[in-house]
């Protein structure tokens, strides 16, 4: 009998939660346009507003601050192209932040990171001090992800935000990878805008949210209708939004699973070190998501490793999964200063709330087999 596959690529997309599927199926039977005033329209509108409350609760925001989007990429683009004069960002950001920033007319300022890919608040403060005069001369934005999609490294967003406020900057955080995996509190972070994506936490692909603090000055990013409080025109995707809301509520209820997933991560990493002492766990000493391990095997090819695991029935990835299936050099690892030979040998294992000891055991079994074959070829 063919063995079932093992899915260890939750950072690319999480399997659809059964709560989300049920909510979507129910919503698909609702006929009305949510902008229509009749009973059918009001029923569709109620589904959206219920979901808005569920998503807001996930990040401790007000429902009125949640604007539904097509996903994290749209949300990040909406913020980065909002007419800023200056943007401060780090090279470890997701491409959906870096690309619109580089294509904007804003003057870009680089935030340095340490060897673990973390922006250090004390270094930021010294970098901002001589810029304070220039920053006050126009609209300025600091954008900093909450968790890195490749390494799982967590950023001190709340502390960075306090420094940014002292210099008059608005602040945005891409919380796509963090939400549902750690507690996210928009009020504690102090940011103006926060990006979410449904499919990272067990909702459907193709929907997300941009959470905009009540007094944040962010212009509409799609015009032509009054939907989403006139910030994003167009008839809402009712079924997908329903699934997003249900997934957000389930993720919030199940945050207690974090410790179990963390134990699986810790056991996996300890066993990898035992099997292959030469392996490198990237940013091992930094605060990280409890589900993400970036693992490099010196001398190996990440692309080859991914294929070997796939043939063994296990899904892992090499870096981000947003490049149409291509495996290329990681800009995140390069920004961290990782040697190219090591960066090109890095794969990502990402767990989820449904991951089990059987899943990690299968990975370790395949890892043992793959690395043993590599050693045998070297001896031969």
CA distance 138 to 122: 24
CA distance 167 to 185: 23
CB 161 within 8 A of CB 171: yes
User: How far is the CA of 16 from the CAs of 205, 238, 292, 333, 352, in angstroms?
Assistant: 9, 17, 19, 30, 11
223 catalytic residue (yes or no): no
> Cβ neighbours of residue 7 under 8 Å, at least 6 residues apart?
15, 315, 352, 359
Query: Strand, coil or helix: what is 337?
Result: coil
CB 207 within 8 A of CB 71: yes
DSSP of 232-284, one letter per residue? B-S---HHHHHHHHHHHHHHHHTGGGHHHHHHHHHHHHHHHHHH-TT-EETTT
DSSP 13: -
CA distance 281 to 289: 13
| Among the listed residues 109, 162, 167, the one whose alpha carbon sits nearest the alpha carbon of residue 136 | 167
Catalytic residue among 322, 329, 339, 372: 322
Catalytic annotation, residues: 322
């Amino acid at each position: 009998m063919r063995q079932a596959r093992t899915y260890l690529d939750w950072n690319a997309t999480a399997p659809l939660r059964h709560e989300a599927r049920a909510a979507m199926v129910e919503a698909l039977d609702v006929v009305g346009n949510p902008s229509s005033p009749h009973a059918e329209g009001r029923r569709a509108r109620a589904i959206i507003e219920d979901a808005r409350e569920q998503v807001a609760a996930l990040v401790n925001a007000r429902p009125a601050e949640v604007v539904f989007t097509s996903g994290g990429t749209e949300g990040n683009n909406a913020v980065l192209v909002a007419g800023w004069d200056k943007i401060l960002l780090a090279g470890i950001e997701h491409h959906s932040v870096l690309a619109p920033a580089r294509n904007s007319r804003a003057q870009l300022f680089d935030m340095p990171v340490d060897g673990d890919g973390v922006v250090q608040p004390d270094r930021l403060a010294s970098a901002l001090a001589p810029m304070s005069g220039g920053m006050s001369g126009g609209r300025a934005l600091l954008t900093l992800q909450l968790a890195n999609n490749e390494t799982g490294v967590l950023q001190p967003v709340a502390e960075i935000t306090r420094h940014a406020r002292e210099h008059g900057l608005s602040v945005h955080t891409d919380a796509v990878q963090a939400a549902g995996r750690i507690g996210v509190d928009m009020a504690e972070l102090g940011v103006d805008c926060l990006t979410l994506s449904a499919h990272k936490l067990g909702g459907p692909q193709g929907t997300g949210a941009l959470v905009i603090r009540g007094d944040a000055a962010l212009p509409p990013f799609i015009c032509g209708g009054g939907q989403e409080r006139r910030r994003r025109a167009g008839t809402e995707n009712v079924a997908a939004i329903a699934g997003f809301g249900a997934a957000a509520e389930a993720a919030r209820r199940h945050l207690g699973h974090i410790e179990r997933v963390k134990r699986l991560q810790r056991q996996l990493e300890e066993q990898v070190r035992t099997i292959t002492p030469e392996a490198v766990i990237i940013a091992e000493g930094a605060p990280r998501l409890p589900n993400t391990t970036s693992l490099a095997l010196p001398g190996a090819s990440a692309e080859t490793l991914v294929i070997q695991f796939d043939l063994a029935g296990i899904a892992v990835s090499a870096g981000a999964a947003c490049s149409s299936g291509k495996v290329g050099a990681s800009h995140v690892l390069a920004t961290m200063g990782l040697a190219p030979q090591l960066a090109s040998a890095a794969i990502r294992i990402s767990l989820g709330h449904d991951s089990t000891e059987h899943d990690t055991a299968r990975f370790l079994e395949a890892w043992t087999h793959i690395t043993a074959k590599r050693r045998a070829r070297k001896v031969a």
